[in-house]
Amino acid sequence: MKRISLTQHLIEQQRLHNSIPAELRLLIEVVGRACKTISHAVGKGALGEVLGSADSENVQGEVQKKLDIISNEILLEANEWGGHLAAMASEEMESIHPIPNRYPQGEYMLLFDPLDGSSNIDVNVSIGTIFSVLKAPDGMKSPTEQDFMQSGRKQVAAGYAVYGPQTMLVLTTGNGVHCFTLDREMGSWVLTQRDMQIPAETKEFAINASNARHWHPPVTRYVNEMLAGSAGPRQKDFNMRWIASMVADVHRILNRGGIFMYPADAREPDKPGKLRLMYEANPMAFIVEQAGGAATDGKQAIMDIQPEKLHQRVPVFLGSKSEVELVTRYHQE
């Protein structure tokens, strides 16, 4: 089988669909390089003295792991100087990160969760990086948070890297979803899956069941129907899978179907869910829709939400289309 590199794939996609200008291709390549560097740091683990807590909190009030901070720095440094970006935003930083004046400004803006699934770092379970690319608004001089307030439909690219037994990069630029595996000896991303499609029918669901007592009625109803198995209204037996790393859970769903849920619940009524719209829900929704699935907040498509703030949170239901439509219908009823 002829091996196709990330660069070759992006150039061929540009020729086919005219959707990946050179600037965007170079930006995606830089993000891919940064993910290789993060993968190397993750792979070293205790040997690289990167495990454990950094004894600091991020803007969300979450305790940061050393690898959270390292990954954030890797992405910032890799992307600052290339001239493809006007600004970046990260889950780990309170406000946006404009490109320093000493570097040329580009026409794109990058959002990322540098290391998703932090609770899994120290126990050697798959974690990942999620990213989203937006176009800078026309005529933008000095970027502000407001410039990032674009709905998910405006994304020009989105992807994630998953650092597991293999390191993989899953990417969409709006023409299907493609998966690359890192050849660790050669240091190159190699195309290993084209046009990934989420299976329409599924018997798997992912949710943190320890929160069941706090769920709102539509979620309780939906999950109870699945738990009732073949004797219940769904007339089939379901399995539950929960890795507590969104990247790993979504990667499984892309490959074998299922639904991932992180609903809002009754614990903090003013907090609409836990996952961040701009650098978790939107990029994953883009990937899932491109792979034939669906992603909603229980009421509307995630990518139709008009963002109001950088660190906005949303409930998330994504995966196999029929399942997402069913749980969304229960919310609407």
pLDDT mean for each 10 residues of the chain (333 residues): 94 95 97 98 90 79 85 96 96 95 95 94 94 94 95 98 97 98 97 96 95 97 98 97 97 98 91 94 98 98 97 97 97 94
Structure tokens at 78: 């890799």
Residue 89: per-residue pLDDT: 98
Cβ count near 41 (within 10 Å): 17
**8 A C-beta contact, residue 25 and residue 12:** no
Range(s) of the chain covered by CATH 3.40.190.80: 204-332
Of the candidates 323, 290, 42, 43, the residue with the CA atom closest to the CA atom of residue 175: 290
Which residues are annotated binding-site positions for substrate?
Answer: 116-119, 208, 274
Structure tokens at 149: 């307030």
The CATH code for residues 204-332 is: 3.40.190.80
Which residues are annotated binding-site positions?
Answer: 91, 113, 115-119, 208, 274, 280
**8 A C-beta contact, residue 181 and residue 174:** no
Q: Which CATH architecture has domain 6-193?
A: 2-Layer Sandwich (3.30)
Range(s) of the chain covered by CATH 3.30.540.10: 6-193
Residue 21: per-residue pLDDT: 96
Which residues are annotated binding-site positions for Mg(2+)?
Answer: 91, 113, 115-116, 280
Residue 153: per-residue pLDDT: 98
Residue 51: per-residue pLDDT: 87
Residue 52: per-residue pLDDT: 85
